[in-house]
C-alpha cells in the first residue's frame, strides 16, 4: 500500500475483524441489502424478533448467504444496536455485498439472485463484471470468499475435514486475501465508502473515518488470519498455522506489526502463566516437594510454549522473556530442593527439562552450571572408587613416570571394560576429564621431557571438554618445544629432533642479600631438525679446515722476504675480496689467504733477523693466522649464527627486556 508508516487507528474495525465478523453482520442477520434505511432495518428486526419469540423459523428469506442456523433473538437485538452506530454499520456494509450501481440495490441482478438463494448466478455475474474491472464485483467476490473461508474454518473446529475440504478452504482464503490486497490500494473502493457516509446522513461519522479505515484494514485482516492461526495452533494443527502465517507474511503488514498482533492474541495466555509463576514461587514447599512443583509447572507451561513457538517463533522476545522466567523459577525451586536433599539425580533431570524452555544466554548458562554440578556429583558417586584411587596415586611420592604407569594400569585398563552405553554418559566424560587433568599436572611438573611428553599426550587423548582441549593443546606444544621436537625453529618445515635442539642458557638477578646475589636460571630452547643441524655443522667444519690451512701456510711462509710478503699480501687481499660471494669454499679460501697475509706481516716485523729466528717466525705466523682465519670465516659464513637466531626469538627478546642475560649464572652466588 502506497501509504506512510502508521499504527492502526480505527479500533472499531480491529475489534470487528474476528471469526464473528459475518455472524453478527447486520445485513446477513436481517437479509436486507446494504442500502436499507434505518427504518427498514428496524421494521425487519421487529418482524424477525416476533417470529423468534413465537418459535417460528426466523430466516427472513432463502438467502444464498444466510446464517446456517436460525437467527436468535439476541442476534437480532445486537444487529439492531449495531445499525444505530454509524461506524459499526459502515463496517458491516464494507463486509457485505454492494450493488453494481449505487442506489440500485433492489434492482441489482446479482443481489436479487442472492435473495432467491441462487448463489451460483450471483457469483457468475460478479466474475463477468470483474473481467471489466468492476470494483463492486471484485469487492463482492472478496466478501464471498472471505465469508466462505471463515464459515468453513469455524465448522472445521468441531470436525476433521477431508483433504478435499481442506483444499477448498485454502482456495477461499487465498482468493479472499489476494482480492483484499488489490482493493486496499484502489481509490474507487474508498470513494464508494465516502458515498455511503453521505447516504447515511449522520453527523456522528465524517470522511476521516475513511482514511482511518483504509490505514487500518490490512492490520485488521491480518488480525483475522492471526486468530485463525491461533485457533489452529491451539489444537496442534501446524500445517494450517503455517498457512495463515504465510498469508500474513504476503500481506502489506510489517513483521513487527504481525508480531504485535500475535502478542495481543497471546496476552491472556501470558497473564495466566505469570499468575501461575507468582503462586508457585510463594509456595513454602520448595525444599520438600520441589521436584513435583517444578514438573507440574513445566507440564502446565509446555502447551503454551508450543503455542508461542508456532505463532511467534522460538526466538521472539515475547517467547524468550516469558519462558526464560519459567526456566528461572524451576531453577530456583530445584536449587533450594537440592540444598536440602542433595538429590543429584532429580536436580539434573528436572533442569534438563527446563533447558527446553530457556533461550536467554544467562539462564542457559545457569542451568548448565547446575546440571554440571549434579552430573559431577553423580559421577563421583558412581565412580567414587576411581576418584579415590586417582587422588591416592597423585598424592603419592612416586616419580612422574611411576604415576603414569599406575594410572594407566590401575585405572585406565579397568575403565576400558566399561559398557558402551555408560561411556557416553556425562558422568563418565567428567571422569575422563579428571584423569586427563591429572596427566596434565604430571606433565607440567615433570622435569623429564620424555615423561612430560607421554603424560601430556595421554591428557590430550582423554580430555573431552572443548575449552580444556584448547588449553591442553597449548601445553602439548610448549612441552614439545621444550623437548626440541616441535617444528624446527630454523627452517619452519620439518619436525625437530630432541638431540639436535639449540639450548641457550639465561640468568636473571632477582635479589641482593647479605649472603650474596640471588639469580633465576632458565633455558631458551629452539627445536632443530637434522637437516638444519647438518648444515650448521658443515659450516663449522669448513671454518676449522680453513683455519688449519691458514695455520700451515702462515708457518711455511714465514721465511719469505718482507718486501715480497707485502706485495703478495696486497694481491691476496684483492683475491680475498673477490671471494666474498662464494658459499661452500669460503672457509678454505679465507684460511689460505689469511695465512699468507699473516705470514707477510710477521716477516715484516722480523726484518733482517729472519734467518736467525725462523722457528719463532713460523710460530708467530701460524698461530695468529689460524685464529684470524677462524674469526673471519665465522663472520662471513654466518650472517646470523644459530645462537644469534635463537636470541632474536620473541621469548628471548622479552626475557632480555626483563633483565635476563645470556649464559649460565655467575659462580659463587645463590640460586
pLDDT tens sequence across 342-361: 999 999 999 999 999 999 99
For residue 584, the model assigns a pLDDT of: 40
The answer to whether residue 305 is domain-embedded is: yes
531: confidence class by pLDDT, cuts 50, 70, 90: confident
Q: What is the grid cell recorded at 18?
A: 474476528
- pLDDT confidence tier of residue 57, bands split at 50, 70 and 90: low
User: Of 361, 380, 399, which closes a domain?
Assistant: 380
Residues 587 and 472 in one domain: no
pLDDT at 284 over 70: yes
Q: Within this chain, do residues 370 and 394 fall inside the same structural domain, yes or no?
A: no
Asked whether the beta carbons of 143 and 97 are under 8 A apart, the reply is yes
Is residue 324 situated within a structural domain? yes
Domain-terminating residue out of 246, 264, 282: 264
State the SS3 of 402-455: HHHHHHHHHHHHHHCCCCHHHHCCHHHHHHHHHHHHHHHHHHHHCCCHHHHHHH
pLDDT for residue 141 is more than 70: yes
Asked if pLDDT for residue 623 goes beyond 70, the answer is no
Mean pLDDT, range 583-593, rounded to an integer: 47
Tell me the angle at which helices 614-637 and 586-606 cross, rounded to the nearest 10 degrees. Answer: 150
> pLDDT-derived band of residue 220, with 50, 70 and 90 as boundaries?
very high
Q: Are residues 276 and 147 in the same domain?
A: no
Name the most confidently modeled range: 103-112, 465-474, 528-537, 566-575.
Answer: 103-112
> Do 232 and 293 share a structural domain?
no
430 and 546 assigned to the same domain: no
CA nearest to 356, candidates 300, 298, 304, 278: 298
518: exposed, middle or buried (C-beta count within 10 Å: 0-12, 13-18, 19+)? middle
* Residue 179: predicted pLDDT: 94
| Same domain, residue pair 15 and 75 | yes
Whether residue 399 contacts residue 450, with contact meaning beta carbons closer than 8 Å, is answered with no
Domain total in the chain = 4
Cα 286 from Cα 568, distance rounded (Å): 105
Instruction: List alpha helices for 283-399, DSSP H.
Output: 286-311, 317-341, 344-355, 361-382, 384-395
Same domain? For 56 and 155 the reply is yes
Angle in degrees, 0-180, between the axes of helices 361-382 and 384-395, rounded to the nearest 10: 80
Question: What is the arithmetic mean of pLDDT over 508-536?
Answer: 74
Beta bridge partners of 507: 521, 661
One domain, residues 24 and 155 = yes
**Stretch 477-488: mean pLDDT, rounded?**
74
pLDDT single digits (tens) 58-84: 444 568 898 888 888 888 899 999 999
Last residue of a domain, one of 264, 295, 320: 264
* 3-state SS, residue 210: helix
Confidence of residue 229 (pLDDT cuts 50, 70, 90): very high
* DSSP secondary structure letters along 539-558: HHHHHHHHHHHHHHHHHHTT
Backbone dihedral angles phi then psi of residue 487, each to the nearest 5 degrees: -60, 135
Which of 418-432, 472-486, 587-601 has the least mean pLDDT? 587-601
pLDDT of 571 higher than 50? no
- Percent above pLDDT 70 for the chain: 78
Do 209 and 10 meet the contact criterion of CB atoms below 8 Å apart? yes
Helix residue ranges, H only, 484-613:
530-556, 562-578, 586-606
* pLDDT higher than threshold 90 for residue 418: no
Q: What is the pLDDT of residues 597-616, one digit of tens each?
A: 555 555 555 444 544 444 44
More confident residue, 364 or 544: 364
Q: Give dist(CA 153, CA 168) in Å, integer.
A: 11
Residues 376 and 416 in one domain: no
Per the structure, the complete domain to which residue 208 belongs is given by 11-264
The pLDDT, as a whole number, for residue 527 is 80
- Do residue 58 and residue 161 come from a single domain? yes
Position 174 pLDDT exceeds 90: yes
The reply to whether 649 falls in a domain is: no
Average pLDDT of the chain to the nearest whole number:
81
Q: Which of 47-51, 67-71, 83-87 has the highest mean pLDDT?
A: 83-87
Q: Helices marked H in 59-162 — which ranges?
A: 73-83, 86-94, 109-115, 119-131, 135-156
State the average pLDDT over residues 225-250. 91
560: nearest Cα among 511, 621, 512: 621
Residues in the chain: 671
Q: Is residue 237 part of a domain?
A: yes
Amino acid at each position: 500500500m502506497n501509504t506512510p508508516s502508521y499504527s492502526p487507528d480505527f479500533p472499531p474495525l480491529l475489534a470487528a475483524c474476528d471469526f464473528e465478523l459475518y455472524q453478527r453482520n447486520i445485513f446477513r442477520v436481517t437479509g436486507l441489502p446494504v442500502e436499507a434505511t434505518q427504518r427498514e432495518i428496524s421494521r425487519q428486526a421487529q418482524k424477525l424478533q416476533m417470529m423468534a419469540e413465537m418459535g417460528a423459523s426466523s430466516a427472513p428469506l432463502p438467502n444464498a448467504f444466510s446464517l446456517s442456523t436460525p437467527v436468535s433473538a439476541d442476534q437480532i437485538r445486537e444487529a439492531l444496536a449495531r445499525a444505530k452506530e454509524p461506524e459499526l454499520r459502515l463496517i458491516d456494509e464494507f463486509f457485505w455485498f454492494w450493488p453494481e450501481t449505487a442506489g440500485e440495490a433492489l434492482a441489482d441482478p446479482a443481489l436479487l439472485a442472492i435473495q432467491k438463494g441462487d448463489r451460483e448466478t450471483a457469483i457468475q455475474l460478479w466474475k463477468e463484471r470483474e473481467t471489466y474491472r468492476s470494483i463492486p464485483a471484485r469487492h463482492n467476490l472478496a466478501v464471498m470468499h472471505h465469508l466462505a473461508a471463515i464459515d468453513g474454518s469455524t465448522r472445521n473446529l468441531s470436525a476433521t475435514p477431508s483433504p478435499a475440504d481442506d483444499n477448498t478452504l485454502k482456495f477461499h482464503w487465498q482468493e479472499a486475501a489476494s482480492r483484499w490486497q488489490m482493493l486496499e490500494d484502489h481509490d474507487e473502493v474508498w470513494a464508494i465508502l465516502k458515498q455511503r457516509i453521505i447516504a447515511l446522513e449522520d453527523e456522528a461519522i465524517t470522511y476521516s473515518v475513511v482514511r482511518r479505515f483504509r490505514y487500518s484494514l490490512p492490520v485488521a485482516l491480518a488480525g483475522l488470519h492471526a486468530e485463525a492461526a491461533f485457533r489452529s495452533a491451539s489444537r496442534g494443527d501446524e500445517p494450517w498455522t503455517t498457512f495463515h502465517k504465510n498469508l500474513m507474511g504476503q500481506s502489506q503488514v510489517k513483521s513487527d506489526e504481525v508480531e504485535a498482533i500475535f502478542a495481543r492474541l497471546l496476552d491472556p495466555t501470558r497473564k495466566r502463566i505469570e499468575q501461575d509463576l507468582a503462586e508457585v514461587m510463594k509456595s513454602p514447599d520448595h525444599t520438600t516437594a520441589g521436584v513435583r512443583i517444578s514438573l507440574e509447572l513445566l507440564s502446565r507451561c509446555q502447551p503454551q510454549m508450543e503455542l508461542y513457538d508456532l505463532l511467534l517463533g522460538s526466538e521472539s522476545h515475547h517467547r524468550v522473556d516469558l519462558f526464560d522466567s519459567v526456566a528461572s523459577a524451576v531453577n530456583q525451586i530445584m536449587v533450594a530442593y537440592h540444598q536440602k536433599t542433595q538429590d543429584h539425580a532429580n536436580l539434573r533431570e528436572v533442569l534438563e527439562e527446563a533447558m527446553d524452555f530457556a533461550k536467554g544466554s544467562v539462564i542457559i548458562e545457569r542451568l548448565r552450571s547446575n546440571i554440571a554440578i549434579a552430573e559431577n556429583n553423580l559421577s563421583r558417586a558412581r565412580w567414587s572408587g576411581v576418584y579415590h584411587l586417582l587422588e591416592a596415586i597423585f598424592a603419592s611420592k612416586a616419580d612422574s613416570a611411576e604415576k603414569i604407569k599406575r594410572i594407566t594400569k590401575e585405572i585406565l585398563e579397568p575403565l576400558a571394560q566399561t559398557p558402551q552405553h555408560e561411556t557416553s554418559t556425562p558422568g563418565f566424560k567428567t571422569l575422563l576429564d579428571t584423569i586427563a587433568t591429572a596427566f596434565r599436572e604430571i606433565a607440567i611438573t615433570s622435569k623429564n621431557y620424555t615423561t612430560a611428553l607421554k603424560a601430556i599426550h595421554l591428557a590430550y587423548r582423554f580430555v573431552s571438554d572443548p575449552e580444556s582441549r584448547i588449553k591442553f593443546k597449548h601445553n602439548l606444544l610448549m612441552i614439545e618445544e621444550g623437548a626440541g621436537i616441535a617444528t624446527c625453529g630454523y627452517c619452519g618445515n620439518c619436525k625437530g629432533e630432541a638431540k639436535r635442539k639449540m639450548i641457550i642458557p639465561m640468568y636473571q638477578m632477582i635479589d641482593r642479600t647479605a649472603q650474596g646475589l640471588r639469580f633465576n636460571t632458565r633455558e631458551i630452547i629452539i627445536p632443530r631438525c637434522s637437516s638444519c643441524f647438518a648444515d650448521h655443522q658443515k659450516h663449522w667444519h669448513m671454518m676449522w679446515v680453513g683455519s688449519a690451512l691458514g695455520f700451515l701456510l702462515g708457518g711455511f711462509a714465514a721465511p719469505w722476504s718482507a718486501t715480497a710478503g707485502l706485495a703478495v699480501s696486497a694481491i691476496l687481499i684483492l683475491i680475498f675480496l673477490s671471494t666474498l660471494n662464494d658459499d661452500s669454499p669460503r672457509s678454505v679460501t679465507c684460511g689460505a689467504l689469511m695465512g699468507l697475509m699473516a705470514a707477510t706481516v710477521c716477516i715484516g716485523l722480523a726484518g733482517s733477523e729472519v734467518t736467525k729466528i725462523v722457528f719463532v717466525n713460523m710460530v708467530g705466523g701460524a698461530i695468529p693466522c689460524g685464529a684470524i682465519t677462524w674469526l673471519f670465516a665465522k663472520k662471513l659464513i654466518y650472517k646470523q649464527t644459530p645462537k644469534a637466531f635463537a636470541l632474536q626469538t620473541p621469548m628471548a627478546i622479552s626475557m632480555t627486556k626483563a633483565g635476563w642475560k645470556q649464559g649460565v649464572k655467575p659462580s659463587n652466588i645463590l640460586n
